[in-house]
C-alpha cells in the first residue's frame, strides 16, 4: 500500500494562519490517524484514544470564543480540518464535523449565556457532542417527529427514539429535538440539551454500515428522560428553526468531508498508476488514464472552490443557505464519481481491501444521503431560484 502522507491537494489561496493550521491537521492525520485506518474500518470501531487528541489539537472548538476555551476561529478553519482528516479517514472527519458544525454551532447561536458557560468549557476540552433529529419515520420529512416532550414542574420528560445518530456511542451531550405540542405541528418542536447520564436516557443499537464504518451511528432511547428546564435550547417551539439553520452550516461540513474523500482517492490512484505497469510501461503513460485523472482533478477543484466559497460567505455574514445546498450536492456527486473512477484505475486491486480505493468508494456514498439527501438539496436550490 502506498504512503500518501506527503501528498497534497491542489493549491488554493489561504492566509498564513490558515496554511499553518491546515498543515498541522495534515501532519496529525498522516501520523496519528492513517496507521489505524484499515483496522478501525475492519473492526467498525474508532480508536477511543484518538478523540482526546482531537481536543488537544484544538479541533473541537474551532468557532467557539476563546473566553469559553475555544479557538475563536471560523467555519473556514473547520472546513480545512474536516477536509484534511477526510483525506485520510472520513470516520475521523465526521467526529470533528458533527461536533463543530452542528453541536457547537447550535449552542453558539441559540444557547443562553449560562448554558454557554456551563457547556463550552467541557465541549472544547473533552466532552463529545451529537445532534439528534432523525427518527424511524422522520428522515427527509424532518418535522414528522414522534418524540414527545411533556412539561413536569420545572423539568421536561422526553419519550421516543432517535435513529442514525452520529457520534452516538461516544458522545456525552446530545441536542435532541422533541415535540411539546403535536397539535401545533412543527411549531411545537423544541430543542433540548440532554446529557448521557440523565435518567431515562440510553444508547440503543449501533448500525453496521457500508461506509464510515469506524464512526459510530446509533439509536437513542428516551423513556421519560428527565431534562431540567435550564437545558431547553432556545425558545420553546423554535426547534424547527434551530434545526434548519444549524443544518445549513452542517452541509458545509459535509461538503468538506466529500472533497477530502475525493482528494484522498485521487491521490491514491495517481500514485498507483505511476507504479502499475502494463504492456511494458506504467499505465500513467497512457493518454486515456491521463485524461481521466485530469478530469477528476478539475471536478475536485471545482467542488473545493464551491465549499470554500460558501464557508467564506458564512464567515462574512452573507446569506449562504442556497450555496450550502449547492456545495453539498455537487461535492457529494463529485466524490461519488471520483472514488468510483479511482477504484476502476486500480483494476482488480481496487476491489481488494489491500488497497485504499474501495474504502474511499464506500465512504463517499453517505455524502448523497445524510444531512439532507441530494433530492432535498435540489429542492432547497429550486426554492431559492423561484423565490
Contact 240, 189 (CB under 8 A): yes
List the catalytic residue out of 135, 267, 358, 371.
371
Give the per-residue pLDDT at 9: 47
The residue whose grid cell reads 417551539 is 237
Q: What is the torsional sign of CA 321, 324, 326, 328?
A: negative
Cα gap 36→39, rounded to integer Å: 6
Tens of pLDDT along 128-160?
A: 999 999 999 887 787 789 999 999 999 999 999
Contact 237, 188 (CB under 8 A): yes
The residue whose grid cell reads 444557547 is 111
Q: State mean pLDDT over 310-338.
A: 97
Q: What is the torsional sign of CA 138, 143, 145, 149?
A: positive
Tens of pLDDT along 241-282?
A: 999 999 999 999 999 999 999 999 999 999 999 999 999 999
Tens of pLDDT along 17-47?
A: 999 999 999 999 999 999 999 999 999 999 9
Tell me whether residue 371 is one of the annotated catalytic residues: yes
Q: What is the torsional sign of CA 323, 327, 328, 329?
A: positive
The grid coordinates listed for 209 are 454500515
Cα gap 334→295, rounded to integer Å: 11
Tens of pLDDT along 110-123?
A: 999 999 999 999 99
The grid coordinates listed for 186 are 412543527
Contact 162, 172 (CB under 8 A): no
CB environment 273-301: b (16+ within 10 A), e (fewer): beebeeeeeebbeeeebeebbeebbebbb
Residue 7 pLDDT more than 90? no
- Structural domains of the chain sorted by starting position, each given as residue range(s) with its CATH number in brackets: 16-123 (1.10.540.10), 129-237 (2.40.110.10), 241-386 (1.20.140.10)
Cα gap 307→351, rounded to integer Å: 30
Residue 5 pLDDT more than 50? no
Contact 28, 92 (CB under 8 A): no
The residue whose grid cell reads 464551491 is 306
Q: What angle do CA 272, 278, 284 make, to 5 degrees?
A: 45
Cβ–Cβ contacts within 10 Å for residue 17, how many?
10
The grid coordinates listed for 47 are 480508536
pLDDT tier at 13 (50, 70, 90 boundaries)? confident
Length of the chain: 387
Amino acid at each position: 500500500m502506498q504512503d500518501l502522507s506527503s501528498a497534497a491537494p491542489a493549491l488554493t489561496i489561504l492566509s498564513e494562519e490558515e496554511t499553518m493550521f491546515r498543515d498541522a491537521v495534515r501532519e496529525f492525520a498522516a501520523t496519528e490517524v492513517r496507521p489505524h485506518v484499515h483496522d478501525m474500518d475492519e473492526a467498525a470501531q474508532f480508536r477511543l484514544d484518538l478523540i482526546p487528541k482531537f481536543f488537544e489539537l484544538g479541533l473541537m472548538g474551532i468557532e467557539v470564543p476563546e473566553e469559553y476555551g475555544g479557538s475563536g476561529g471560523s467555519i473556514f478553519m473547520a472546513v480545512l480540518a474536516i477536509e484534511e482528516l477526510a483525506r485520510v479517514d472520513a470516520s475521523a472527519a465526521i467526529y470533528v464535523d458533527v461536533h463543530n458544525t452542528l453541536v457547537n454551532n447550535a449552542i453558539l447561536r441559540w444557547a443562553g449565556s449560562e448554558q454557554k458557560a456551563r457547556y463550552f468549557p467541557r465541549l472544547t476540552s473533552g466532552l463529545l457532542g451529537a445532534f439528534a433529529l432523525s427518527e424511524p419515520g422522520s428522515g427527509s420529512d424532518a418535522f414528522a417527529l414522534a418524540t414527545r416532550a411533556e412539561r413536569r414542574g420545572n423539568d421536561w420528560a422526553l419519550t421516543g427514539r432517535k435513529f442514525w445518530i452520529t457520534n452516538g456511542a461516544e458522545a456525552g451531550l446530545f441536542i435532541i429535538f422533541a415535540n411539546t405540542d403535536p397539535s401545533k405541528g412543527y411549531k411545537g418542536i423544541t430543542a433540548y440539551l440532554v446529557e448521557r447520564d440523565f435518567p431515562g436516557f440510553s444508547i440503543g443499537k449501533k448500525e453496521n454500515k457500508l461506509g464510515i464504518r469506524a464512526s459510530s451511528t446509533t439509536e437513542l432511547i428516551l423513556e421519560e428522560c428527565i431534562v431540567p428546564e435550564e437545558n431547553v435550547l432556545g425558545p420553546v417551539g423554535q426547534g424547527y428553526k434551530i434545526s434548519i439553520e444549524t443544518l445549513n452550516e452542517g452541509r458545509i461540513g459535509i461538503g468538506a468531508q466529500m472533497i477530502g474523500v475525493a482528494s484522498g482517492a485521487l491521490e491514491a490512484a495517481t500514485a498507483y498508476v505511476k507504479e502499475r505497469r502494463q504492456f511494458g510501461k506504467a499505465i500513467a503513460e497512457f493518454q486515456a488514464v491521463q485524461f481521466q485523472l485530469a478530469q477528476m482533478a478539475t471536478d475536485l477543484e471545482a467542488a473545493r472552490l464551491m465549499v470554500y466559497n460558501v464557508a467564506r460567505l458564512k464567515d462574512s455574514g452573507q446569506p449562504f443557505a442556497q450555496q450550502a445546498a449547492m456545495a453539498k450536492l455537487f461535492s457529494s456527486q463529485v466524490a461519488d464519481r471520483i472514488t468510483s473512477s479511482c477504484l476502476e484505475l486500480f483494476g482488480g486491486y481496487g476491489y481488494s481491501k489491500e488497497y485504499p480505493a474501495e474504502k474511499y468508494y464506500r465512504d463517499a456514498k453517505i455524502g448523497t444521503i445524510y444531512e439532507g439527501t441530494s433530492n432535498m438539496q435540489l429542492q432547497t436550490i429550486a426554492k431559492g431560484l423561484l423565490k
